[in-house]
A and B are shown apart, each in its own frame.
Chain A
Amino acid sequence: MAINWFKYSAPSTFYGLAGKLIPFFAWPAVLLFAIGLYIGFFVAPTDAVQSEAYRIIFIHVPASILSMFIYLIMAGYAALGLIFNTRLSSMMAQALAPTGALFAFISLWTGALWGKPMWGAWWVWDARLTSELILLFLYLGFIALQASIEDPRRADKAAALLAIVGSVNVPIIYFSVKWWNTLHQGATIKMSGTSMHVAMQQAMFIVLVACWLYVIAVALARVRSIILERERNTQWVNELKEVQS
């Protein structure tokens, strides 16, 4: 018997499902944030070289990792929407973009905060920070293109194409920035990585999972409002309790 995989790809069914799923991601996210940050700030020992300032990595590293992952997932969803013409995947891509941009921004912000005590400067042209900045530009381009096209179908397709081109370009950009960086002997962020304490690893991992859950919860919430906005003329939206009241 064939399972109808596309049942939940209809926005009307997914709207309800997403609403039920959100608490299952949101509450664990809150809990894990609390645990992860507690371990990070109170349990993990002070770093011998960087003293207390290093603790910002518990936010910086998960934010950086996620900002890159989200771009790929966003591009994946967008590509699905472009190839199979599934509206929901395009909406998911649109819902993920602001969160990805937020994480890229957080990563830059915390990187700057960490850089000041470490290098004595708010901004250093480190390869990873520079790539992160370019990634933020790519997110902003995606959001701007999506926002400036009024017809949602054209907006989805155009943004999808841009995301695909972007994701092909990301590795090229990353390696060229790295190459540029080594050529100019710029600063490189080096953790005292070999001797990372177990508590540090645990804290970083837990915050990463918490961020991941947060991304899912926020994306689901945002996709619900995108569905409502786009389907506002349909009957099922007008029959919803929250719309009628």
Chain B
Amino acid sequence: MQQAPLLEVKDLACERGDHRLFSGLSFTLAPGELMQVQGANGSGKTTLLRTLCGFVQPVQGSVHWSGQDIGEWDDDFHAEMCYLGHLNAIKDELSALENLQMSAGLAGYTLSDQQAVSALRRMGLQRREHLPVRVLSQGQRRRVALSRLLVGDAHLWILDEPLTALDVGAVGLMQELIGEHLSKGGMTIFTTHQPLQVAGVQTRQLMLS
């Protein structure tokens, strides 16, 4: 069953400084679809994802969500998406649990201790919930950041290099999570340098050159 696309990118062009990264980029993304953005270093993958979030104003073209420009969506668009950048957006001083609860709060909802703990456990952080993030390894920090995906109800996941610093087990877990998200009608657009296969889903490729 093919559903109408929710995310539409039309004739998009972006620059960094004086340098034109890409232009004339158009694609759509419908519920249940998975898209991988590919390209060499500096081809504008991160800029594209940041443009989809609305951080960067495109030089040309537009990004539409449910038929409306994201510039006009106001903050409601943000409630329907979840972005995970290069940076983990977690605080060294806070515990994994506090970090997750704060992130949820910034995303506009409250999270009970129980919900947060079960999300962290699912991400493989048993008995690390109350440790300050400072003492966790890079991979564990990434897991704390990724657990944000578990607790939200966003339709659109925008993931910039989600697999950085993750071990094989965690990569498998991510594939599982994305699969669940897609089967519930979610969408995911991501960049990665590692192979990421979700069972039963065709990964669409977007090449930036």
Contacts and interface: CB of A to CB of B under 8 A. Distances in A.
Direct contact, A vs B (beta carbon within 8 Å): yes
B23 to A, nearest CB: 16
A233 interface: yes
A151 B17 CA distance: 6
Contacts of B17: 150-151
Contacts of A233: 18
Interface in A180-230: none
Nearest to A234: B18
Interface in A136-154: 150-151
A150 B17 CA distance: 9
Nearest to A231: B18
Contacts of B18: 233
Interface string A151-189: 100000000000000000000000000000000000000
Contacts of A151: 17
B167 to A, nearest CB: 38
A64 B103 CA distance: 52
Interface in A45-86: none
Nearest to A232: B18
A233 B15 CA distance: 14
B187 to A, nearest CB: 31
A74 B21 CA distance: 32
Contacts of A150: 17
3 contacts: A150-B17, A151-B17, A233-B18
Interface of A: 150-151, 233
